Structure 1
Amino acid sequence: MSWGDSRPDGLMSGWARAALLAAVVIGAFIEVSTVHRHHGWLVDGLALAAVGLAGAAAALGSEAAATLARQPERQREWREREHDREPRTELTVPVCRYVAAPAGPAAQPARPRPFLRERPTDLSVPRFGDGARAQGYPWLLPERTVQNGIAADEATVGALTIRAASVVGPGHRCSQPAEPRQDSYRIGRSRDSRYAIVAVADGLSSAVWSDAGATTASSQAVTLLREQIEAVGFDRIDVKGLYGQIANSVAAHAAGRRVSTSQVATVLITAVIAEPDANGVAQAWVGWLGDSSAWTLDPRAALWQFSAGEAKDRAAAVVSNEVAGRLPDTPELAADGYVTLVPGAALALVTDGIGDAWADRAGNVNEYFANAWHSPVPATRFTADVGFDAPQCLDDRTAVVVWNGGGA
């Protein structure tokens, strides 16, 4: 647009008004300085009046322009205020965000996090004594793909209630490099739900592929026990034949990986719990090979009692972790027996990560678990208990508990 054109708001541009004012002032100066023959004073007065009018018009024009320029912004603010007063009817979707804690009045610069984490304060994991230092270290991943670091289940088979959990031990999950969870368990039932079937395996720490051996052993144990029960009955389970078949499966797994059988070595404990009789009493068959163990809890007792498995010599100055038998090399060393569960009693199959702590009567670990598992608890609570923190308890820990009654 040219300088003489009008703007959309009806006012001349600022520089055009300045030029016009300058022209009026110059013209007035010429008129005042020139000698007039007629009415000189009147001409001078009119010239000065023109200068005043032109200046006033320019000033008023500038203020009006500024006012008009501010109008759109004021209208926008007014519309926003009116909008805020109106009730909102649209639905909002909540978004979960991490909210940092507000900084204190004298907030310090952020420091690198220490490698040793602070232990949780919400008591989600039971802690005994000073706990284990490794419990607070970050969980690391093994170099190869392995089974999950945590596994848990809960189930009901007739009148029997089952809880199971397996947690990689602090000594395995924070080592360099990290090691896999070498414990494994399986739970199952007969087709008519008259029997609950449990298998708990503990791979030897010295065996590179012991996690694979334990997984194979526990899985095959439940499958083969179901077949034996259906073929010969609960009262005629053949522990030697059973563990011999499991050993063949574990050895075949080692051959498939092209490693020696010692590299998949594992111990195993198994159980079949029959439905309660007319008096509410349940019979359980237990077979084992190695240092995993079976424990029973009477509803009137304050401690878990050792019932089956390879007991360690607690009287010795140094408790040995050597096992007399293992799969797949010595299945002929498997042994078995029967356990009676009165109404409300419980049978626990555990690896030595828990069994050793229960056998050590110097602490109160056994007493805590007898109270905590007096009756079935949710699987989440059960898993947290299995992940307990206690001095020198660094091994993987696995527990499968079967209650005779007690509700789901």
Structure 2
Amino acid sequence: MTDRKSAGGRGVPAIGAPGRAAGELPAGHPPATPTVADHELSEFSGPGLEIRGASIRGLMHRYRGGPRQDAFSVVYDEASDTTLVIVCDGVGSLPRSHEAAAFVTDRLPAHFWAARNWAAAVKSVNAELHELVARRRAELGPAEWDANAMATTVVAVAISPGHQGRRVEIVRSDDSTVWALSREGGWTDVSATTDGDATVHTGSVRALPTDSPRLHHAETTLTDGALFVMTDGVDVPLRGAAEVRETLATWWTSPPAIFDFGAQVGFARKTHLDDRTVVGVWATGEDHA
């Protein structure tokens, strides 16, 4: 269970100094129109895998009265014993980026099943998002569009049977990352750095929709331990502080209860105020289906 004695004012555990915002910032008024929930939790289990997912509204969006702009989805194809994890981080400077993030997490799996290739799947969902944005822009006009613009980055993982353990295929546009955690508590960034397709270029951040998606590709193997697909709300403090790496390793060497996992993803730490999304995938040691 999460150690509530170390919790910040929002009932989440603190790692280091939680900062004043975690203890003093109120939830705020309900929005004027329906929007995404502040927090989202999911858990799954199957042959060889345990999965926990949590997306938590960050303190900056709480302060500004804006919605959570992260989103995630987890889907499974029984015929190929393949699990997809998609995590999106809406571009915070654009007001309706939560819609772009939700659109990509909803549509990208179908494109992957059709192509069985991440580069082709992202190209297709990028084209669909382009069409959606073009329709919205035409309906609203230039003045209203500024208050309704949207874009998102994406990281996606396909986990399928391999010769030794599970094969993991990764693609990301940037910002969001994938980390491996060994059973001994060691963290390794397994995010992609190689150019995986001649029509897709490795480079700086290119949020979707864009005329030329820039994607990073990588492959790894999940034999034991766990993988964590995350937005930079967790990646940045994980990468930057040994204290965060040690604490999260202690919490996540085995799958937590889902409500504990949600609180842990939302941990309080001074100056880290962004939305937080993590999908954890644990190898259970069972035979693959």
What TM-score results when the alignment is normalised by the length of structure 2? 0.83
Task: For 1:132 and 1:254, locate their aligned partners in 2 and report how far apart those are by CA, in whole Å.
Answer: 38
Task: For 1:329 and 1:142, locate their aligned partners in 2 and report how far apart those are by CA, in whole Å.
Answer: 30
Question: Residues 310-389 of structure 1: matches in 2 within 5 Å?
Answer: 324-342=205-223, 344-361=224-241, 363-389=242-268
Does 2:109 match 1:222? yes
Specify which of 241, 251, 269 is matched with residue 120 of structure 2: 241
Larger relative contact order (Cα-Cα within 8 Å, sequence gap ≥ 6):
2
Higher strand content, 1 or 2: 2
1:273 corresponds to: 159
- CA deviations 1:4-49 (Å, max 9, x no partner) are xxxxxxxxxxxxxxxxxxxxxxxxxxxxxxxxxxxxxxxxxxxxxx
Task: For 1:201 and 1:309, locate their aligned partners in 2 and report how far apart those are by CA, in whole Å.
Answer: 16
Task: For 2:6 and 2:246, locate their aligned partners in 1 and report how far apart those are by CA, in whole Å.
Answer: 21
Question: Residues 3-402 of structure 1: matches in 2 within 5 Å?
Answer: 121=5, 123=7, 125-136=12-23, 137-140=25-28, 141-175=30-64, 178-192=65-79, 194-229=81-116, 237=117, 239-258=118-137, 259=145, 263-275=149-161, 277=163, 281-300=165-184, 302-309=185-192, 324-342=205-223, 344-361=224-241, 363-402=242-281
What is the aligned-residue identity percentage? Answer: 27
- CA deviations 1:299-318 (Å, max 9, x no partner) are 12x232211057xxxxxxxx
Task: Mark the runs of 5 or more structure 1 residues left unpaired by the alignment.
Answer: 1-119, 230-236, 311-322
* Deviation at residue 294 of structure 1 after TM alignment: 0.6
Distance 1:180 1:292, change over 3 A: same
Task: For 2:162 and 2:263, locate their aligned partners in 1 and report how far apart those are by CA, in whole Å.
Answer: 30
Task: For 2:31 and 2:216, locate their aligned partners in 1 and report how far apart those are by CA, in whole Å.
Answer: 34
Task: Mark the runs of 5 or more structure 2 residues left unpaired by the alignment.
Answer: 138-144, 194-203
Task: For 1:375 and 1:303, locate their aligned partners in 2 and report how far apart those are by CA, in whole Å.
Answer: 13
Task: For 2:77 and 2:173, locate their aligned partners in 1 and report how far apart those are by CA, in whole Å.
Answer: 23
- CA deviations 1:297-338 (Å, max 9, x no partner) are 1112x232211057xxxxxxxxxxxx6211011553112110
What TM-score results when the alignment is normalised by the length of structure 1? 0.60
Which range moved further: 326-335 or 396-405? 326-335
* Deviation at residue 283 of structure 1 after TM alignment: 1.1
Task: For 1:366 and 1:331, locate their aligned partners in 2 and report how far apart those are by CA, in whole Å.
Answer: 35
* Deviation at residue 248 of structure 1 after TM alignment: 1.5
- Contact 1:195–1:273, Cα closer than 8 Å, also in 2: yes
- Contact 1:155–1:162, Cα closer than 8 Å, also in 2: yes
Task: For 1:308 and 1:228, locate their aligned partners in 2 and report how far apart those are by CA, in whole Å.
Answer: 22
- Contact 2:16–2:243, Cα closer than 8 Å, also in 1: no
* Deviation at residue 255 of structure 1 after TM alignment: 2.8
Task: For 1:161 and 1:169, locate their aligned partners in 2 and report how far apart those are by CA, in whole Å.
Answer: 26
